[in-house]
Chains A and B, each alone.
Chain A
Amino acid sequence: MNGMDQTVSTPRPTAFKLIKAIGDRATSSPNAGHGSGGRRNLFLLALLVAALSWSWGPAEISRWTYLFTDSGNMAEYAAGFLRPDFSDWRHYLEEMLVTIQIALWGTFLAVVLSVPFGILSAHNMAPWWVLQPVRRLMDLFRAIHEVVFAVLFVVSVGLGPFAGVMALFIHTTGILAKLFSEAVEAIDPRPVEAIRTTGASRVQQVIYGVIPQVLPLWISYSLYRLESNVRSATVLGIIGAGGIGQVLFESIRAFYYPEASAILIIVVITVTIMDLISQLLRRLVI
């Protein structure tokens, strides 16, 4: 145990120094890549190998042999899923719909809030004393996982779908505001300048000059988050936020594998349908 700790802790500072060195090189000499491309690639490769071997022990990669020696256990477990039992499909579909509804509301609220937060955390739109606090708040929203937020909200608003909506809402706001602001930072500033010379207000400059430029990307990001939130909402069900996840977890815990299998199939089909719909919407809007 002691020996392992040492191997874990010693390479850490070197790895950080290396990363810093790369950063310095990249910023100080942008043309360095031309002459020493081969050496740099070798260096990056060595860095990757170092990082992977550093993580080998803690991630217990050495247990990979169990995949083969104990594969019988897995097969036995999976066998339970081979005969899906759809006898209760009406109930599953209802719960699946609840999950989609949770994702829909969570995403919608996040999109609404991400518009102002995204603009206020773009460096070409807001002064630093607005930008920094907003960005840090978004970091906080993003850093904490939906499941953690869900546990918090279950305490305050009780078990059920609304806790799931709130959890998705907060976490997705953190993600979308960042993506939205990156789109805003990449706009062409010249049309905005032209609008400013007509005597338009700041808000009008954003509405006529910025939003039309970023709208396709914003819609794309929002639809993608809606898809991922359907998946996340399934997981949230497991900790008591309602929907199909709750039913799934209950049947797994009770060893009703055929039912669990049917539920999983419904989830996979739903996510696929969501993907198709969002592709269609994207093509319609953009």
Chain B
Amino acid sequence: MTAISVSSLSKRYGKTRALDNVSIEVQRGEMVALIGASGSGKSTLIRHIAGLEVGDGEAGKVVVLGEVSQTAGRLVRGRPAGRVAVIFQQFNLVGRLSVLTNVLIGHLGRVPRWRGTLGLFSRSEREKAATALARVGIPSVAAQRSSTLSGGQQQRAAIARTLVQEAEILIADEPISALDPSSARRVMDVLANINSQDSITILVSLHQIEYARRYCKRTIAMRDGRVVYDGPSTSLSNSFLAELYGDASEELVLPKSPAEPLPARLVRSSCLKPVHVLA
């Protein structure tokens, strides 16, 4: 069954075409990578699927789990709220609230309005939030203000919020590009785990092809607002990327580390003092 279906979606911001007649389909249970250089339209596409933006023109349409979310440049009234959970590049937690409260926010679309508004969450709802935090590997930070967490921890708290939300689809807008490599891997591991254990459909936009090859079977590549590749991640070799993106392909590939560490030596630079490089 189709989880996400986007057809003929276009969007302009002033003169730039952010999305140019984009059509994609994602099946239930898939974990799909969305790659592309900066400004290729990844984030714009994700914001449209999340219902945060509406497209231009009559033809554009977004269908989520069989229900129309937006069509002809208008969000559909009475569309089911909260069925697509979203993770953002900058985590977007509320910094002054505790981590637990941030995770509890995931319940808002499901509990009765008055209870959510007054913040009266039941014991089982609190337990569920705590369980979600344990699952993403940060059970001990629940009472802390979320602004005190590291970037990787914040992103995992944001994932815990989407777990509580119990959405069947999770879309992630460059979830790891603000993180250091080891935090990035941990976040991607959590996403892959959610995909395989809970069979939640995941669409994740990535800046680096290595992560797409490692975590996702299928990759959709975008350039200048258009889908330029849609197929197995393994077929996306570095040389094919260079063909697709030209010089811009460099930013999509992690720089190669030297085969052998450089020998430690005293560096005499043009500075006044010699700089010692410690091996």
Contacts and interface: CB of A to CB of B under 8 A. Distances in A.
Counting chain B residues whose Cβ lies within 8 A of the other chain, the interface size class is 20 to 34
Nearest to A212: B96
Interface residues of A, number: 20
A87 interface: no
Contacts of A193: 52, 88, 92
B158 A197 contact: no
Contacts, number: 76
A209 B102 CA distance: 10
Interface in B62-115: 80-86, 88, 90, 92-97, 101, 105-110, 113
A209 B94 contact: yes
B50 interface: yes
B92 A208 contact: no
Interface stretch (A9-17, A174-182, A199-207): A199-207
Tell me if B's interface is mostly helix, strand, loop or mixed: loop
Contact of A195 (B50, B84, B95, B108): B108
A35 to B, nearest CB: 28
A204 B92 contact: no
A195 B109 CA distance: 9
Interface in B109-151: 109-110, 113, 116-117, 119
A220 B88 CA distance: 31
A191 B84 contact: no
A199 B84 CA distance: 9
Nearest to B106: A198
Interface of A: 190-191, 193-201, 203-204, 207-209, 212-213, 215-216
7 contacts: A190-B88, A193-B52, A194-B92, A198-B161, A199-B83, A203-B117, A204-B117
Given A197-B51, A199-B108, 14 more contacts: A194-B86, A194-B93, A195-B105, A196-B52, A197-B85, A197-B86, A198-B82, A199-B80, A199-B83, A200-B105, A200-B108, A207-B119, A208-B101, A209-B94
